[in-house]
Each structure stands twice: as C-alpha cells, then as structure tokens.
Amino acid sequence: MRRIFLGFACNNGCVFCAQAGLRAAWKRDDGGRDVAAIEASIDALTDLAPGETVAFVGGEPTVHDELPRWISRAIERGASRVLVQTNGRRLAYAKYAEELAATTAGKSATLALDVSLQGSSREMHEHATRAPGSFAQTVLGLRHARGASIAAAVTTVITRANYRHLADIVRLAHASGASAIRFVPVEDVRPSAASGPPLAPPEAMMAPRLAAARDVARELKIALLNGDLAAGEGRFAGASVTVVPP
Ligand code: SF4
C-alpha cells in the first residue's frame, strides 16, 4: 500500500483529530497543501506491484478539487485499487460521487472509500465533528457512493459521546450503503486526549456495547474490520488495503 498525503486541510473539526495541532501550527488556510509535492509523489508511483493499493489521505482529500485527477493519475501509474479516507461530505453532491466513480470507468482499477461516521444521529455525529450540517452530508454521501457503485467502509472512533450507540451506528452504516465498519478506540487516534476533557469511555462500560454492535454487524452481514485501512491493515472491498508514505 502506498500513501499519498494531501495536507491537513479539513472541513470538519473533530474533537479527537490527531492533526488539529498540526493544522494550527501550519497557520495556513491550505493546511500545508503542496500541489507540486503531491503530484511528484503520484508520479513517483512507478514500482507498484500488481494488486497494490494507493491511498489518498489528509486532512480531507475531497477538499482538493484536483482529487479526481489525482486518482486517475495514480491509476495511470498502475494502481489496481485506490482508497480515499474521507468524511464523505462532498459526496452529498451526487455529481461529485459520479465524478469520483468515473475515474475507474473502463479501467480494471477499483475505488473504495473509508468514511468517517461518528454517530447515529445529527447531535452525536456533530458533537464529534463540530461541523453543523456534517451528519446529513456524510450520510447522503454514503448513499451517493452506493448509487455510484463505489465501495464504502465506515470508520467510527469510540468516544464517551457515542459508545452507547455503536449498534445503531452499525445499522445506519448498513442502511446507508456501507459494506464494512471499523471501530477505533479514541486513544488510538489521539493518545494526547488526556490533556482535555476525557474522551474515552470506561473500558468495562464500552465492552458490552461493542459486543452488541458486533452482533448486529454479523446479523446484517456488514463486515467488521480491524486495523488501520490507510496503513495497510485490515481487509476491505475484497482486498488487503494498504496506503503509501508520502
Ligand atoms: S474528518 Fe478526519 S481529518 Fe477532518 S477533523 Fe475529523 S478526524 Fe480530523
């Protein structure tokens, strides 16, 4: 898996975002975007193995208008699979979902999304993202991905705000078209979360909720993923998904 890093810019402001401090440190509206470096890292993909995946990660990859072009460029360089880590909000525009899907039209390459969904309700999701309107856009984005035949997994960071509702999040992910779901402990995302209000639920209280969510996932036949998709761990969309360092 090769990972293409697009900078820290994001239209969400998640309470647990590991990049929040980095984004502020750049003190730039573009979140450290460097188009020349991004395109050079794509052009450097000259030694991809058959079946290898290229992952676009941020920040939020879809805030860059060039993303469809960059995906096409990675496919031209030989990427068999492309994974985009996204909050899915831009896919609320059906035309954008179609534009992403078009990058693989007539090609043997496949495109998959790893979509950040942090709650089963607007209040829960937007408590995490601190972005009004983000819940409706992410859920609609998942539906548009399904409509455009783009495989999507959901990633949910387990916090005190959502741990009681993990089973409902599985149901929503499934109803919205995701084919897989991954739960990540908040301390894995932001180990420094100790320096603020506690974000992690007590382990003993979380465990039964997680077990119930896994039961629902099995019942609905939505795949449960382990590991970091964008680090090459876990399996999704029929392949081991791996992303490349910049
Ligand atoms: S969507 Fe991802 S990159 Fe954006 S603020 Fe949330 S955790 Fe950070």
Q: What is the DSSP letter of 232?
A: T
From ligand 1's centre to the CA of 20, what distance in Å? 8
Ligand 1: lining residues by beta carbon, under 6 Å: 10, 12-14, 17, 19, 58-60, 87, 116
Domains of the chain (ranges plus CATH)?
2-240 (3.20.20.70)
Q: For residues 10 and 242, give the distance between their C-alpha atoms in angstroms, rounded to a whole number.
A: 22
Per-residue pLDDT at 223:
87
**How much of the chain exceeds pLDDT 90, in percent?**
67
Q: What Rg do the C-alpha atoms of the chain give, in angstroms?
A: 17
Q: Check whether 191 has a pLDDT greater than 90.
A: no
In this prediction, residue 187 has a pLDDT band, given cuts at 50, 70 and 90, of confident
Unique residue bearing structure tokens 């089963």: 120
Q: For residues 66 and 47, give the distance between their C-alpha atoms in angstroms, rounded to a whole number.
A: 23
From ligand 1's centre to the CA of 133, what distance in Å? 15
Atom of ligand 1 nearest to the CA of 128: 6
Which residues, in sequence order, are bridge partners of residue 184? Answer: 157
From ligand 1's centre to the CA of 140, what distance in Å? 18
Atom of ligand 1 nearest to the CA of 11: 4
Per-residue pLDDT at 239:
43
From 27-41, 84-98, 187-201, the region with the lowest mean pLDDT: 187-201
Mean pLDDT of 195-216: 87
Q: Which residues contact 182 (CB under 8 A, 6 or more apart)?
A: 114, 153, 154, 155, 156, 224, 225, 226, 227, 229, 234
From ligand 1's centre to the CA of 112, what distance in Å? 18
From ligand 1's centre to the CA of 13, what distance in Å? 6
Residue nearest to atom 3 of ligand 1 (CA): 59
Atom of ligand 1 nearest to the CA of 13: 5
Atom of ligand 1 nearest to the CA of 59: 3
Q: Measured between alpha carbons, how far apart are the two ends of the chain, in Å?
A: 11
Per-residue pLDDT at 241:
38
Q: For residues 146 and 148, give the distance between their C-alpha atoms in angstroms, rounded to a whole number.
A: 5
Per-residue pLDDT at 219:
93
From ligand 1's centre to the CA of 204, what distance in Å? 27
Question: SS3 sequence, 152-175?
Answer: EEEEEEECCCCHHHHHHHHHHHHH
16-43 pLDDT, tens digit per residue, is: 998 877 776 665 656 667 889 999 999 9
The CA–CA distances, whole Å, from 95 to 9, 141, 176, 226 equal: 22, 11, 18, 32
118-168 pLDDT, tens digit per residue, is: 999 999 999 999 999 999 999 999 999 999 999 999 999 999 999 999 999
Q: For residues 150 and 152, give the distance between their C-alpha atoms in angstroms, rounded to a whole number.
A: 6
Atom of ligand 1 nearest to the CA of 85: 2
- Tell if the pTM clears 0.85, that is, is over it: yes
